[in-house]
Chains A and B, each alone.
Chain A
Amino acid sequence: MVALGFAIIQLAPGDPVQVLVGDYPAPAEYVRQVRERFGLDRPVWLQFFRYLGQVLTGNLGYSFFYNEPVLDLLLDRMGATLLLMVSALVISSVAGIGLGVACGRRPGSATDNALLVLGLVGYSLPVFWLGQLLLMGLSLKLDLFPTQGMRGTLFGLSTLGRVGDVLHHLALPALTLATRYLALNVRLTRASFLDVAAQDYLRTARAKGLAERVVVYKHALRNALLPVVTMIGLNIGHLAAGAVLTETVFAWPGLGRLIFDAILHRDTPVILGGLLVVSACVVVGNLLADLAYAAIDPRIRLGRR
């Protein structure tokens, strides 16, 4: 992943030094000085290995544009993005699975059909358009939610008040980001639940006189959940991409915004660092999905091969 990011940026036309120096004709001496300061005069492969070595020791380099260490920049913005992504993940997973089961229990019912149509709608909505609509309707017209950013004025607020303020700002972006995955989870849970519902062991469980609640949640759902969990883990990378769009609409001060601005400024270390963090998120997400998998399915054991 690091190598890919590095390759893309090396292949790219344009020169970060140019951006830094500006469009005015600068003395060649100055250009060379800048180039030297950032190590851009070395051969490409040397730059790459130096970068790799530094990443392993926790040094992500120095932003050309902000004149700040990349790690600080990323850590600074990471909290906001994590808050947004985790909220969206929780909303989409919990509500998605719940609604999916509601559909799967009574296939063909009015609820089922309504949710299926809504699911397709939610799946087809462009994230940024949904964000704009919510913003126009609920924030600008009805003034229910703040329009921009993550915090309002903090003067005179208690700790609890501050938390409430952030949550108030968080509601719309989280909902916007969650919608697509909510729809996806409903469809997947429903399909998987229907698959499981036809199995013999459910008939056995019912025949043995278990309460319907136990049959549905313990026997059926637990088995139906496996593919859903895999999918949620796989979608974490896409969620990160959706975060870029959501953060743009709501001016949310997160990582996505940072990466996007870095792209515009050709701020290579920040782009690379950002991609690295997102990839790390994807890996961690898949790991968590695997752990959840093992927790749900006793046949899968961790650590033993």
Chain B
Amino acid sequence: MPRPQFEPRRSPRATRRVLSKWRGSGPSPRAMMRRLRRRPLGLAGLLGAGLFLGAAALGPWVAPADPFALGSSALMPPGRGHWLGTDDLGRDVLSGVLYGARVSLVVGLCAAAGSALIGVTVGAAAGYWRGRLDEILMRLTEWVLVVPQFLIVLVVAAIFGADLRFVVLVLALVGWPTTARLTRAQFLALGDREFVVAAQGLGASDARVITRQILPNALPPIVVAGSLQIPAAILAEASLRFLGLVDPRSLSWGGMLNQAQNFLQQAWWMPFFPGAAIFLTVLSFNLAGEALNDMLDPRARTSGL
């Protein structure tokens, strides 16, 4: 990491230019790609995540049938006409899986974005201003971390009803503590460094120091933690659906598994394919998160994969 050339005679603007050049000095894109190539599983994870995102985006156009269309042939095993079989109402499972991708990924991405937003805000405030505010915020964070989150989500979702937006909101509201703690730790570590003190000395506002100076440098581990919230949210949403607690009219993987529970004996394909979709999506995002971790911060090798 090059040290900033600090020359007192420069104008504030020039100093700022030097500072800005020094900011965000992560590994170069080329180095990141090199590290990625050494981790085939990480690459697979990224590709898998991309594949499911593609399915979510294109699902309605590539699906062979309308997933809601009732067919004459119920409980058909996988074969010609219906690649992944049909359910008890004669609906095409493959189409259901493709349409379901959309719900799962939108929920996962939105909930993760929401919890990242809350987490970064709380963590940055606690780590930047410290003192009493820090204590209060961290006590709150610990509390949210210890409470059995899924049970809270369960109760809230069950009672307040089936609205998907509400589920996303609740998932975001319980998912933020990890990100907050990480952000706080980063801010504590970076808050006293020369470039921050220099910016403060130049009269930059707190908001500017936080968003323009510290945050870009603190970002890599936060991005990793945030990306790992995506699979967690996808799993939580699928679990709620499996319990039948989210709007049963919209199509989703968890909901298909709920429906399949009564047909385990007759139709193995009914639970198998939607469940495999959940599993592979979550696995892809987990692998991608680890690969990201390795690309952004080579020192913190969490595993040899």
Interface of A with B (CB < 8 Å)? 1, 4-5, 8-9, 12-14, 107-108, 112-113, 116-117, 120-121, 123-129, 132-133, 135-136, 140, 187, 190-191, 234, 237-238, 240-242, 244-245, 248-249, 259-260, 263-264, 266, 271, 275, 278-279, 282, 286
Also in contact, A241 and B154, with CB within 8 A (given A120-B286, A127-B239, A248-B242)? yes
Contact yes or no, B239 A128, CB < 8 A: yes
Given known contacts A116-B305, A140-B265, A191-B302, is B159 in contact with A126 (CB within 8 Å)? no
Which residues from B are CB-within-8-Å of A12? 159-160
Using a CB–CB distance below 8 Å, which chain B residues touch chain A? 41, 145-152, 154-156, 158-161, 231, 235, 238-239, 242-243, 245, 257, 260-261, 264-265, 268, 271-272, 275-276, 278-279, 282-283, 286-287, 302-305
Q: How far is the CB of B286 from chain A (nearest CB, A)?
A: 5
Say whether, besides A128-B239, A244-B154, A245-B242, A136 and B271 are in contact (CB < 8 Å).
yes
Q: Are A117 and B41 neighbours in the complex by a CB distance under 8 Å?
A: yes
Main DSSP-derived SS at the B contact region = helix
Chain A positions within 8 Å of B272 at CB level: 133
CB neighbours of A263 from chain B (8 A): 154-155, 158-159, 245
Q: A108-B304, A113-B304, A126-B238 are in contact. Are A264 and B158 (CB under 8 A)?
A: yes
Residues from chain B with Cβ under 8 Å of A286 in the complex: 146
Contacts of B151 in A (CB 8 A): 237, 240-241, 244, 259, 275, 278
Known: A140-B265, A245-B243. A126 touches B283 (CB 8 A): no
Contacts of A136 in B (CB 8 A): 264-265, 268, 271
A120: which B residues are within 8 A, CB to CB?
41, 283, 286-287, 305
Closest to A191 in B: B302
Subset of 5 A-B contacts with CB under 8 Å: A116-B304, A117-B41, A124-B286, A129-B257, A244-B150
* Complex: chain A residue closest to B148, CB-CB: A237
B275 touches A1 (CB 8 A): no
Q: Give the 3 A-B CB pairs with smallest separation, nearest first.
A: A129-B275, A241-B150, A237-B148
Query: Which of A120, A126, A249 has the most chain B CB atoms closer than 10 A to its own CB?
Result: A126
Q: Which residues of A contact B235 (CB under 8 A)?
A: 126
Contact of A282 with B148 in the complex, beta carbons under 8 Å = yes
- C-alpha spacing A140/B265, complex, angstroms: 6
Q: Which listed residue (B243, B268, B271) contacts A129, Cβ 8 A?
A: B271
Q: Would B239 and A126 count as touching, CB distance under 8 A? A: yes
Q: How far apart are the CA atoms of A278 and B282 in the complex, in Å?
A: 27
* Chain A contacts for B152, CB-based, 8 A: 4, 8
Specify the chain B residue showing the minimal Cβ separation from A248. B243
Contact of B279 among A1, A9, A126 (CB under 8 A): A126
Across the interface, do B150 and A238 meet the contact criterion of CB distance under 8 Å? yes
A194 to B195, CA, bound (A): 35
Known: A113-B304, A124-B282. A140 touches B264 (CB 8 A): yes
Across-interface contacts of A190 in B (CB, < 8 A): 303
Q: Give the CA-CA distance A120 to B282 in the complex, in Å.
A: 10
A265 to chain B, nearest CB (A): 10
- Specify which chain B residues have a CB less than 8 angstroms from the CB of A240 in the assembled complex: 148, 151
| Residue ID in chain A nearest B281 by CB atoms | A124
Q: A117-B41, A129-B275 are in contact. List 19 more A-B contacts (CB 8 A).
A: A8-B155, A13-B160, A113-B305, A120-B283, A120-B287, A126-B242, A129-B257, A129-B276, A237-B146, A240-B148, A241-B149, A241-B154, A248-B242, A248-B261, A259-B154, A271-B155, A275-B155, A282-B148, A286-B146
Q: Which residue of B lies closest to A14 (CB)?
A: B159
CB-CB under 8 A from B305, the residues of chain A are 113, 116-117, 120
CB-CB under 8 A from B156, the residues of chain A are 8
In the complex, which residue of chain A has the Cβ closest to the Cβ of B157? A263
B151, B268, B279, B305, most chain A CB atoms within 10 A: B151
- Cα-based distance from A127 to B265 in the complex (angstroms): 19
Closest residue of chain B to A139, judged by CB?
Answer: B264
A124: which B residues are within 8 A, CB to CB?
231, 279, 282-283, 286
Of A125, A135, A237, A245, which is within 8 A of B264 by CB? Answer: A135
Residues of chain B lying within 8 A (CB to CB) of residue A135: 264
- Residues of chain B within 8 A (CB-CB) of A129 are 257, 271, 275-276, 278-279
- Chain B's closest residue to A244 (CB) is B154
Closest Cβ of chain B: how far from A231's Cβ, in Å? 12
